[in-house]
Amino acid sequence: MKALPAWEGLSLAEQVAQLIVVRASGHLFDQQIEYPQWEPTASVLERWVQELGVGGVLLLGGSAAEVCLRTQQLQEWATVPLLICADIEEGVGQRFAGATWFPPPLALQSIAQTDPVRAESYAEQMGAMIAQESLVVGINWLLAPVVDVNNNPANPVINVRAFGDTPSGVSQLTTAFLRGAQQHPVLTTAKHFPGHGDTAIDSHLELPVIPHSKAHLLEVELPPFQAAIASGVDAVMTGHLQIPSLDDQYPATLSPATVTELLRQKLGFAGLVVTDALVMGAITQQYGANEAPVLAIEAGADIVLMPVDPEGAIQAICEAVKTGRISQERIHASLERIWRSKQKVGSTLLTGNTPHAWENVPPGVGPKTITTQIAQPQTIATVSAILQDSMRVYQPTPSRLDPNANDRRNVIIVDDLLNSPFLEKQSPAIGLPRKLGYALQRVDRHTPPVHFGSNLPQPTLLQLFIRGNPFRGSGLNETADAWLCHLIETHQLQALVLYGSPYPLENWLPKLPRDIPYVFTYGQMAEAQAFALTSLFHTAVDSRISSPPDRRFTD
| CATH number of domain containing 455 | 3.40.50.10870
Residues of the chain with confidence (pLDDT) below 50: 1-2, 347-364, 471, 473-475, 539-555
Give the Cα separation of 334 and 297 in Å (integer). Answer: 9
Number of domains in the chain: 2
Q: How far from 228 is each of 43, 111, 424, CA to CA, in Å?
A: 39, 21, 38
Q: Are 213 and 161 within one domain? A: yes
Q: Note down the domain range covering 493.
A: 391-537
* 342 and 400 both lie in a single domain: no
Q: Which of 30, 204, 309, 486 is catalytic?
A: 204
Same-domain pairing of 311 and 204: yes
- Angstrom CA distances, 208 to 35, 170, 291, 292, stand at 25, 22, 20, 17
Q: How many CB atoms lie within 10 A of CB 352?
A: 13
Calpha distance 410→62 (Å, rounded) = 30
Q: Name, in order, each residue with C-beta under 8 angstroms of 264's C-beta and a sequence gap of 6 or more.
A: 270, 273, 300
Answer yes or no: are the C-beta atoms of 551 and 393 closer than 8 Å. yes
Which member of 202, 234, 247, 276 is catalytic? 276
Q: Using DSSP, how many helices (H) and how many strands (E) does the chain show?
A: 19, 14
Strands 392-394 and 518-521: antiparallel
- Do 447 and 314 fall within a single domain? no
CATH code, 76 = 3.20.20.300
Q: Which of 322, 346, 373 is the last residue of a domain?
A: 373
Is 133 among the domain residues?
yes
Residue pair 466/504 in contact (Cβ under 8 Å)? The answer is: yes
Task: Using alpha carbons, list the distances in angstroms from residue 517 to 8, 77, 395.
Answer: 66, 56, 5
Whole-angstrom CA distances from 314 to 20, 144, 275, 277, 287 are 8, 26, 15, 16, 16
Query: Rounded to the nearest 5°, which phi and psi values hold at 49?
Result: -80, -45
Cα–Cα distance for residue pair 530/107, rounded to 1 Å: 17
Indicate whether 366 and 486 sit together in one domain.
no
Q: Is residue 399 domain-shared with residue 369, that is, in the same domain?
A: no
Residues 453 and 357 in one domain: no
261 assigned to some structural domain: yes
pLDDT digits over 124-176, tens only? 999 999 999 999 999 999 999 999 999 988 888 899 999 999 999 999 999 99
CA distance 185 to 416: 36
Taking the C-alpha atoms of residue 196 and residue 149, their distance in angstroms, rounded to an integer, is 7
Residue 285 shares a structural domain with residue 422: no
Inside any domain, residue 84:
yes
CA 499 to chain centre: 17
In a domain, 552, yes or no: no
Q: Does residue 381 form part of some domain?
A: no
pLDDT of residue 282: 65
Per-residue pLDDT, 6:
74
Q: Is 204 a catalytic residue?
A: yes
Q: Is residue 14 part of a domain?
A: no
Q: Are 386 and 103 in contact (CB under 8 A)?
A: yes
Within a domain: 555: no
Beta bridge partners of 466: 500
∠ CA(139), CA(350), CA(67), 5° rounding? 25
Q: Do 369 and 395 sit in the same domain of this protein?
A: no
Round to the nearest angstrom and report the end-to-end CA distance of the chain.
Answer: 58
Local structure of residue 519 (DSSP, 8 states): E
User: 8 lies in a domain?
Assistant: no
Active site residue 196: no
CA 69 to each of CA 95, 124, 138: distance values in angstroms, whole numbers, following the listed order = 15, 28, 8
409 and 321 in a single domain? The answer is no
Are 207 and 343 contained in the same domain? yes
Q: Are residues 139 and 56 in the same domain?
A: yes
pLDDT in tens, 510-528: 999 999 999 999 999 999 9
